[in-house]
Structure 1
Amino acid sequence: MTLLRWLRTAAIDTKPLKHTDFRRLWAGNAVSFVGFQLTAVAVSVQVFAVSGSSLWVGALGAAALVPLVLFGLAGGAISDAFDRRVVLLVSSVVTWMSTWGLFFQALLGMRSIALIFALVALQSAGFAVTSPTRSAIIPRLLPVDLVPSANTLNFTASNVGTIAGPLLAGVLVAHGSYAIAYGLDAVLFTFALYAAIRLPAMPPSGPKSPPGLRSIVEGLAFIATRPVLLASFAVDIVAMVLAMPRSLFPEIGADRFGGGEAVGWLFAAISIGSVVGGLASGWIGRVRRQGVALLVAVTGWGVAVTLSGLAGHLWLAVVLLAFAGMADLVSGVYRQTILQVYAPDEMRGRMQGVFTVVVAGGPRLGDVRAGVVAASLGASASWVGGGIVCVIVVLMVALFVPAIRNYTSAEASPAALPTPPEPARAEPPSCT
């Protein structure tokens, strides 16, 4: 009996799913993220098949990153100025139509690199607006004490998609079925569209700031004058730029572990750990000292990455990277939660826009950092050294920024917490 009680306590908290609107939003996002990963793999393979060059495949990252940064910041400002349901719906339609564009170009065998890049950029722009808007909506749907659990559910679902999507994509693109992959993505995305349609109206709840450069600057200034928010962004950038070993996996996998399936296991390990951590995350919502929990999680990420870079056996490296993935899930949940509940509602869109840019851009900068250091000092030194420096910098943040060290869940902005609707009691859980 004691074991069963412990398992219930440790299991992922599903109480947010009792709220109908959140349940639809979560299910739609979870299903559509599998499709998003299908397209991410299929478009890379198609570009290589058309161009025969890895250079063009690498350029896809730039085609996606530039609109992600621009529209991530602008999208956050837009979602603070207008009804967030409308913003989410319009930006979702943009993403949906760009995916159908990829489907038709593949179906018609057009083989145009320029067209593919343009559609990827458009899809990235749509995602850059939907992501911060969806995150800013969550505290309007749920009581503040359920926001950490809601974020855990979202992060866990996205990590499941990160595993399932590429595996399914591999089966499809192995036979050149790019159109089927894109078409399946578009069909799955209709779940997210339906969830957006069924949301209640969400007009701005506080002072409105017209979207534009001034609004974006106001959001950045708000972060700069709040040590808690500034430190939460800083530790994320430190973790991803200094200790993300992803671009070293091919070389280490080949040289140390014999290549072949080893590289695939290295790439999958972090996401596998995140999923396992999410499924055993019942304790996350009960932690009061969220600032300390965030710092411990990011430190744990750095330590696990460091040790995995020293591992001489593939299974040990995978296990340690999985522990890093668990720590990354915990840190992501607390960073997102702090951002959602600390800022007033009229600032949430802009805060989530910056969050989207940091989360998307940090790992890419980390890939560059790891590659440059590896070229000079070797892959092992780049991997292990990055983890060590990450731990040192995070400990310095903990020492010199007491605001983040002392942050508790009680510090939610009272102006930011409109009363959410009561959960529907009669309706059973459903994706629709």
Structure 2
Amino acid sequence: MRMDTSPVRESRDFTLLLAAGTVFAFGAMITYVAIPFQVYRLTGSNLMVGLIGIVELVPLIVFGLWGGALADHFDRRRLLVACGLGQFVWVGLLALNTFVGEPRLWVLFVLAALLTSTAALQRPSREALMPRTVRHDQIAAAQALTSFGGQMGVLAGPLVGGLLIAYVGIGWCFVIDALGLLVATALYVAMRAYPHTAETTPPSLASIVEGIRYGIGRRDLLGTYTVDIASMFLAMPVVLFPALVEEVYRAPERLGLLYAAGTIGAVLATATSGWIGQVHRHGAAITVAAAGYGLCVAIAGLSPSFWIAFVFFALAGFSDMVSAIFRGTVWNQTIPEQMRGRLAGIEMLSYSLGPRAGQVRGGLVADAWNVRGAVVSGGLACVVGVAATAAALRTFWAYDARTDPHAVAERESRSARGVG
């Protein structure tokens, strides 16, 4: 059960990449708290707060895909550095907008869109570079460690952001994030170069379409995307938490605990992830974990007690993280080097769009029926959707890292290049 830390002990560049990603996640979550709070303070409108998410959606889609195409042609480490500096500039301007006179609302919206665009450009390069920094047989452990670092940032960032807002002001949230961005970018600079090992494809719409066709054409990859989207779209409960604590449990002071439950479960999953490297039937593992996520959400929705619901929401976060680690392992162990950036861009969309659509679904069902019904029906629908995906995509269900032709080909390719 102990986390496998061999990638950190053996690979300096993976350690740098892990530390930088954790700092980025931590700072991003501070700003994630600060921007909506500042919009609400300026307008008093929940609608305007919601529009921030809409404004960020299009850049996320467009620049996520474009960032993947760039990552498959240009030096990924340089892209990480350039995008890190870009994010530093945008966050610095957010701080300036806060400290100099009355903050301007339109500036907040523009900078939020620019910040999302730059982060979306950067992420495929980081995802595509990670497998290059470790041995092929360490990818599962590296994926767990990467997830652990990200979840620690997600857990600590909002807490620190809330304290900064309460005691020193919103502007200092952006200052802390900007300083973190400089530190993380310096860590990327300290990494060695990783030139492409195969012929690259110049970034274009055609290259993006080529990546999409590759992802859809491989049934095992298609299964990972479908399971993720189905889980988040059908069972994502977060938007219903305020109504749960107000209408069902009559304990609004515990809202923060519900928001933290999933992250606590995810951190626990990564901290006890040593067993994951011993599992080879990754398609079956993803299916079971994702179905477990839906089942735990449904049980939480039925729970008569807040604390029972809290435990099962934490178990849902645990199951979702296990599914995520195995999905990432499949991607990183099987996708060819020359396609990895574009597929990382598609992957980013799969776990970004599902939760957003799931929040809309949850809200509509809760208004049409009731809060418990929305949570329980979503969890049960997730179980059915995941099972249907596994039944329809037999290649995905039968995936075995030891025998899968794509995993074998990538393993032999890395061996031939002397990687790991």
TM normalised by structure 1 equals 0.93
Structure 2 counterpart SS, 1:211:
coil
1:428 matched to which residue of 2?
Answer: none
Hey, what's the Cα distance between the residues in 2 that align with 1:415 and 1:394?
27
* CA contact 2:242–2:252 (8 Å) conserved in 1: no
CA positional deviation for 1:191: 2.5
Hey, what's the Cα distance between the residues in 2 that align with 1:103 and 1:34?
17
2:414 matched to which residue of 1?
Answer: 418
Residue 242 (structure 2) pairs with residue 250 (structure 1) = yes
Q: Which amino acid aligns with 2:29?
A: Q
1:16 matched to which residue of 2?
Answer: 7
CA positional deviation for 1:205: 1.9
**Aligned pair in 2 of structure 1 residues 44, 176: CA closer, same or farther (>3 Å)?**
farther
Structure 1 counterpart SS, 2:3:
coil
Hey, what's the Cα distance between the residues in 2 that align with 1:109 and 1:355?
41
TM-superposition CA deviations, 1:150-187 (whole Å, max 9, x none)? 11111112112212111111111124611111100111
Candidates 159, 167, 172, aligned match of 1:180: 172
1:203 matched to which residue of 2?
Answer: 195
Structure 2 counterpart SS, 1:56:
helix
Hey, what's the Cα distance between the residues in 2 that align with 1:12 and 1:168?
26
Structure 1 counterpart SS, 2:101:
coil
Q: Which amino acid aligns with 2:323?
A: S
Matches within 5 A, 1:7-406: 10-18=1-9, 19-175=11-167, 177-406=169-398
Q: Which amino acid aligns with 1:223?
A: G
TM-superposition CA deviations, 1:274-323 (whole Å, max 9, x none)? 01111111111221111111111101101101100101111100100000
* CA contact 2:85–2:181 (8 Å) conserved in 1: no
CA positional deviation for 1:407: 0.7
1:3 matched to which residue of 2?
Answer: none
Q: Which amino acid aligns with 2:33?
A: V
Hey, what's the Cα distance between the residues in 2 that align with 1:213 and 1:370?
34
Stretch of structure 1 that moved more, 246-255 or 393-402: 393-402
CA positional deviation for 1:251: 0.6
Q: Which amino acid aligns with 2:228?
A: D
TM-superposition CA deviations, 1:216-275 (whole Å, max 9, x none)? 000000011100001110000000000001111111110111132222111110001101
Stretch of structure 1 that moved more, 197-206 or 265-274: 197-206
Stretch of structure 1 that moved more, 333-342 or 71-80: 333-342
Hey, what's the Cα distance between the residues in 2 that align with 1:223 and 1:158?
25
**Aligned pair in 2 of structure 1 residues 413, 202: CA closer, same or farther (>3 Å)?**
farther
Aligned residues: CA RMSD? 1.6
Aligned length: 414
Structure 1: gaps of 5 or more residues? 1-9, 424-432
Hey, what's the Cα distance between the residues in 2 that align with 1:190 and 1:331?
32
CA positional deviation for 1:46: 0.7
CA positional deviation for 1:328: 0.8
CA positional deviation for 1:400: 2.4
* CA contact 1:79–1:133 (8 Å) conserved in 2: yes
Q: Which amino acid aligns with 2:88?
A: W
Q: Which amino acid aligns with 1:203?
A: P
* CA contact 1:238–1:394 (8 Å) conserved in 2: yes
Hey, what's the Cα distance between the residues in 1 that align with 2:57 and 2:272?
33
* CA contact 1:38–1:165 (8 Å) conserved in 2: yes
**Aligned pair in 2 of structure 1 residues 311, 196: CA closer, same or farther (>3 Å)?**
same
CA positional deviation for 1:200: 2.0
CA positional deviation for 1:190: 2.0
Hey, what's the Cα distance between the residues in 2 that align with 1:158 and 1:318?
22
**Aligned pair in 2 of structure 1 residues 421, 264: CA closer, same or farther (>3 Å)?**
farther
CA positional deviation for 1:391: 0.4
Q: Which amino acid aligns with 2:100?
A: L
CA positional deviation for 1:375: 1.4
* CA contact 1:21–1:195 (8 Å) conserved in 2: no
* CA contact 1:29–1:191 (8 Å) conserved in 2: no
* CA contact 1:140–1:418 (8 Å) conserved in 2: no
* CA contact 2:333–2:410 (8 Å) conserved in 1: no
CA positional deviation for 1:353: 0.3
Q: Which amino acid aligns with 1:414?
A: A
Structure 2: gaps of 5 or more residues? none
Hey, what's the Cα distance between the residues in 1 that align with 2:166 and 2:42?
15
CA positional deviation for 1:413: 5.4
Matched residues, percent identical?
A: 35
* CA contact 2:334–2:410 (8 Å) conserved in 1: no
Q: Which amino acid aligns with 1:12?
A: M
Q: Which amino acid aligns with 2:3?
A: I
Stretch of structure 1 that moved more, 351-360 or 231-240: 351-360
Candidates 374, 383, 407, aligned match of 2:399: 407
CA positional deviation for 1:422: 8.5
Q: Which amino acid aligns with 2:281?
A: R
Structure 2 counterpart SS, 1:174:
helix
* CA contact 2:240–2:363 (8 Å) conserved in 1: yes
**Aligned pair in 2 of structure 1 residues 422, 214: CA closer, same or farther (>3 Å)?**
closer
CA positional deviation for 1:415: 4.5
* CA contact 2:17–2:130 (8 Å) conserved in 1: no
Q: Which amino acid aligns with 1:131?
A: R
CA positional deviation for 1:385: 0.4
